[in-house]
Chain A
Amino acid sequence: MRVRDHKAAAAGLVIIVAFGLLAVLADVIAPSSIHQQVGPVFGPPSRGHVLGLDDSGADMLSLVLMGTRVSMIVGLASTVIAVAVGGVVGVLAGYFGGRVDAWLMRLTDVFLVVPILPLMIVVAALWGPSVGHAILIIGLLSWTPTARVMRSQVLATRERAFVRRAKAFGAGHMRIIWHHVFPRVRGLLVANSVIVLASAIFFEAALAFLGLESVTTTSWGTLIANAFNRAASSAGAWWAFVPPGACIALLVLGCSLVAMSFEDAGSARVPASHIFAGRLEVTRRDGQ
């Protein structure tokens, strides 16, 4: 694993880290409380409120900052779940092969062909809206690309002579996986997790936008959803939905930059576009 394009990777990393810092420091930076009316409804950007005000007269900058925190938490937590599940499934399937591989890959295929967004909607509707549910749903439904990528890489690694030598001198499966196979695919897992993060952020926004996250939660998705529900666009208040939308776009861009800069040094190259699988598309269910 090596980084092919350092500039792009650095730029992407700066974006991701910047959003991380904003999330951590949100309540310190935020100029005012998000529950407090500080001016007129849909007040335009001004010196005091650079991103204007929302439909309840709260400061948009503060809202976006606090939304960053929730979006990043949901994104990172669900990424951890997805990468952990996908990594374990992929490594086990690739390493053991045979029947284990067949079963795990059938399972993966099932999750892969399930249309994720509708399923998320169904599950979220059944469980009720909550940040915790969003994390679980997104995490448990987006591990399949990771599993497939890891499997193919592990398949190639387990045939390498040093793995065979470890088997020959008596190393157990867990030792071989942990000491000889995993270090070989770790880089790919990191690159992959960045991509999963991007899609998780996107799915979070989609779930919120579709009203499947609690209205009292402030995230990029709920901000946009809220703006649409209060007809911000017809009121000409672009500042109510452009900033959170831009944040989503920027973070996804940052993730893509990092992911695409990674190139697998082994034989199997995995272009980032492959893992995105063209699912970043969503339409509003009431067709408005």
Chain B
Amino acid sequence: MRPMGLNIRDLVIDYPARRGSGATRAVDGVNLHLDRGEFVGIVGESGSGKSSIANAIMGLAPVTSGEISLGDTNLAALRGKRARHARRPLQLVMQDPFEALDPHLSVHRLVEEPLVVHKLGRSREERRTRVREALEQVGLSPAEDFEGRRPHELSGGQRQRVCVAAALIVDPHVVIADEPVSMLDVSVRAGVLHMLDASRRRGNAVLMITHDLPTAAAFCDRLIVMHQGRIVEQGTSLQVVGNPSHHYTRELLDATPALGRQSASVPGS
């Protein structure tokens, strides 16, 4: 059908039994389709299975059954080197930019590494040019000032921009962002989100996993609400937020503190 979208069919993820308890079903029959140029959000609380889906897509968690396919390739059936290269069009932005960057490497090395891994960029010079372009693209400008720094010399927002640059540098088709701004200060969150949105405008699909419903509603075209491993509701952001059909979605909406940026809210209760 659609050539390079991401397709998930009947995905089930079980985590093996630990002492005392049986296997836990983290994801229970999830179907999901992502087209290029779409910004889709998965919202839900911890334990809803939303991060397990991200990990399964990226090959970081084992898939019990079901299909994760990119174009015609079923990623869940591939192993080893072939799986790694088949996943190049999928890139991940993780939650914690303080942990996600190897503290001993320079920004240049961190952003360059995916290029080296996928043998993109023939010469050192070509890779350097591409790294600089990627840094400029995420607003770390001038790139020359940043490429020599180590992660501890950057602010949280800058670190997350480095992660985004490292994800975008291999020209992915799908960017998976797992809570990309929850560890960041409020004042810099929008910058990172707009960057993901810009990559969507260039034709990428963006899948954002978050527990922050207002942010997801603002940036995503489509929202998927997960609860206990299942999708309980999905639709356009307007539908889900404005006219929720599932009681869990309503509960989530009620629990979300809103400020009313136009109208003043009533303090206390």
Is residue B52 within 8 Å, beta carbon to beta carbon, of the partner chain? no
> B88 — nearest CB in chain A belongs to which residue?
A170
CB within 8 Å for A169 and B113 given contacts A164-B60, A164-B94 = yes
Among A160, A165, A166, A167, contact of B59 (Cβ-Cβ < 8 Å): A167
Interface residues of B in 77-122 (CB under 8 A from A): 81, 84-85, 87-88, 91-92, 94, 96, 99-104, 113-114, 117-118
Q: How far is the CA of A183 from the CA of B109 in the complex (A)?
A: 15
Residues of chain A lying within 8 A (CB to CB) of residue B91: 168-169
Interface contacts (Cβ under 8 Å), in number, total: 54
Q: When the two chains form their complex, are residues A170 and B118 in contact, meaning their CB atoms are under 8 A apart?
A: yes
Interface residues of B in 160-182 (CB under 8 A from A): 163, 166-167, 170
21 CB < 8 A contacts A-B: A161-B94, A161-B96, A161-B99, A162-B101, A164-B100, A165-B92, A167-B58, A167-B60, A168-B59, A168-B60, A169-B113, A169-B114, A169-B167, A170-B85, A170-B87, A170-B88, A170-B114, A171-B113, A172-B84, A180-B102, A183-B104
Q: How far is the CA of A167 from the CA of B83 in the complex (A)?
A: 11
Q: How many B residues face the partner with a CB closer than 8 A? A: 26
Give the residue among B59, B87, B103, B113 with the most A Cβ atoms within 10 A. Answer: B113
Least Cβ distance of A97 to chain B in Å? 13
Q: When the two chains form their complex, are residues A169 and B166 in contact, meaning their CB atoms are under 8 A apart?
A: yes
Is residue A279 within 8 Å, beta carbon to beta carbon, of the partner chain? no
Is residue A175 within 8 Å, beta carbon to beta carbon, of the partner chain? yes
Interface string of A165-188 (1 = CB under 8 A from B): 111111110010001100100000
Q: How far is the CA of A166 from the CA of B109 in the complex (A)?
A: 12
Instruction: Tell me whether chain A's interface is mostly helix, strand or loop, or mixed.
Output: helix
> A180 — nearest CB in chain B belongs to which residue?
B102
Q: When the two chains form their complex, are residues A168 and B117 in contact, meaning their CB atoms are under 8 A apart?
A: no
Q: How many A residues face the partner with a CB closer than 8 A? A: 16
Least Cβ distance of B103 to chain A in Å? 8
Q: How far is the CA of A180 from the CA of B117 in the complex (A)?
A: 13
Residues of chain A lying within 8 A (CB to CB) of residue B114: 169-170
Binding site for B on A (CB under 8 A): 160-162, 164-172, 175, 179-180, 183
Q: How far is the CA of A172 from the CA of B118 in the complex (A)?
A: 10
Q: How far is the CA of A175 from the CA of B117 in the complex (A)?
A: 8
Least Cβ distance of B152 to chain A in Å? 13
> B103 — nearest CB in chain A belongs to which residue?
A162
Q: When the two chains form their complex, are residues A162 and B99 in contact, meaning their CB atoms are under 8 A apart?
A: yes
Q: How far is the CA of A179 from the CA of B104 in the complex (A)?
A: 10
Lowest 4 A-B CB distances belong to which pairs? A161-B99, A168-B92, A170-B84, A162-B102
Least Cβ distance of B73 to chain A in Å? 14
Residues of chain A lying within 8 A (CB to CB) of residue B87: 170
Q: How far is the CA of A274 from the CA of B58 in the complex (A)?
A: 39
Q: When the two chains form their complex, are residues A169 and B92 in contact, meaning their CB atoms are under 8 A apart?
A: yes
Q: How far is the CA of A161 from the CA of B98 in the complex (A)?
A: 9
